[in-house]
């Protein structure tokens, strides 16, 4: 049986951890896991999906007559598991901010109750997203197919749950929830973004929606669309200023086709249509049309034409 000399490696890894913790002023913190767990959150999300859509995303042997029993049991277990992760983030935040963490348990309990109370509203929003996907895609044969198969819907389930955590002051948990969907679908929606009802992402791979983006109702976007920032302001010390509105506002009933890049705090007016592979950095009027300009040779030029 092969043996490996790893004692020096173990010592070097310890020194690397020690140096990092010392640089981050964490050496004096007590032992035990400090951060929320991605694996724990993945399991919690699976349970919550079954709570929201028990007959489609719940246990394969679930029957309708036991639906409420399953929802009650699964929800209670998921909330208790989530409570542990919320406590960890609140304690972590208290340490970062240098504030006392004496009321963490009460804060966590309140946050979990608020989160649970939001689940019926989240289910209603997700119903509107599923319906938008079914109505917006001629290839969709049923709402069940959309819910079970479409990556855009999976991303929206994660987004709507993560957004609620974000609103409750739990950005790390919210970001982990979002990144679990990002890894599974290739769709990157920051949980801080605001997205209205009836949102449909068709195909989805490569979609990026930034933290301060605001999206209205009945908006449809396609793969490789970016709603990003145009520039990143810095303070007097040259450090990035965080939290500033820097992503687009997309009003109701807008359609954005594949590969479009929309940057900065601009407004895409109600009912506008943004063509594929364009680069937009200025406001678009309600009902406006943005498309690539075609050159005389028939190739597409880089300029953007508004019609």
SS3 239: coil
Q: Give residue-wise pLDDT tens across range 112-133.
A: 999 999 999 999 999 999 999 9
> Domains of the chain: which residue ranges?
34-186, 206-235+242-307
Are the CB atoms for 280 and 270 separated by under 8 Å?
no
Are the CB atoms for 175 and 193 separated by under 8 Å?
no
> What's the CATH code, domain 34-186?
1.10.3130.10
- Mean pLDDT value across residues 182-192: 98
Whether the predicted pLDDT of 295 surpasses 60:
no
The CATH-assigned architecture of domain 206-235+242-307 is: 3 Solenoid (2.160)
Are the CB atoms for 228 and 188 separated by under 8 Å?
no
Cα→Cα distances 114→111, 117, 121, 167, 203, Å:
5, 5, 12, 10, 33
How much is the pLDDT for 233?
83
Q: Give residue-wise pLDDT tens across range 231-252.
A: 888 888 888 888 899 999 999 9
Whether the predicted pLDDT of 175 surpasses 70:
yes
Better-predicted residue by pLDDT, 270 or 20: 270
Percentage of the chain with pLDDT > 70? 92
CA dist 108 and 86 (Å) reads 6
Cα→Cα distances 88→37, 164, 172, 298, Å:
9, 17, 10, 59
How much is the pLDDT for 217?
98
């Amino acid at each position: 049986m092969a043996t490996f000399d790893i004692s020096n490696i173990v010592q070097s890894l310890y020194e690397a951890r020690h140096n990092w913790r010392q640089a981050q002023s964490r050496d004096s913190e007590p032992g035990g896991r400090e951060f929320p767990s991605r694996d724990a959150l993945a399991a919690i999300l699976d349970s919550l999906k079954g709570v929201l859509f028990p007959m489609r995303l719940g246990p394969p042997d679930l029957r309708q007559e036991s639906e409420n029993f399953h929802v009650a049991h699964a929800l209670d277990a998921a909330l208790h598991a989530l409570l542990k992760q919320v406590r960890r983030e609140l304690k972590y935040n208290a340490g970062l901010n240098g504030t006392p963490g004496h009321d963490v348990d009460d804060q966590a309990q309140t946050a979990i109750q608020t989160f649970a109370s939001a689940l019926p509203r989240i289910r209603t929003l997700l119903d509107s997203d599923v319906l938008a996907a079914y109505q917006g895609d001629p290839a969709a044969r049923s709402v069940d197919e959309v819910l079970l198969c479409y990556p855009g819907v999976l991303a929206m389930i994660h987004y709507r749950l993560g957004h609620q955590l974000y609103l409750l002051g739990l950005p790390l948990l919210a970001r982990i929830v979002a990144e679990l969907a990002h890894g599974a679908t290739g769709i990157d929606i920051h949980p801080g973004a605001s997205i209205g009802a009836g949102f449909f992402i068709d195909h989805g791979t490569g979609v990026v929606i930034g933290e301060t983006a605001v999206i209205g109702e009945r908006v449809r976007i396609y793969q490789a669309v970016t709603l990003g920032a145009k520039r990143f302001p810095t303070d007097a010390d040259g450090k990035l200023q965080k939290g500033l509105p820097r992503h687009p506002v997309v009003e109701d009933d807008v359609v954005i086709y594949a590969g479009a890049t929309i940057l900065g705090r601009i407004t895409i007016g109600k009912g506008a249509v943004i063509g594929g592979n364009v680069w937009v950095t200025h406001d678009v009027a309600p009902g406006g049309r943005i498309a690539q300009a075609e050159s005389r040779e028939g190739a597409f030029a880089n300029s953007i034409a508004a019609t």
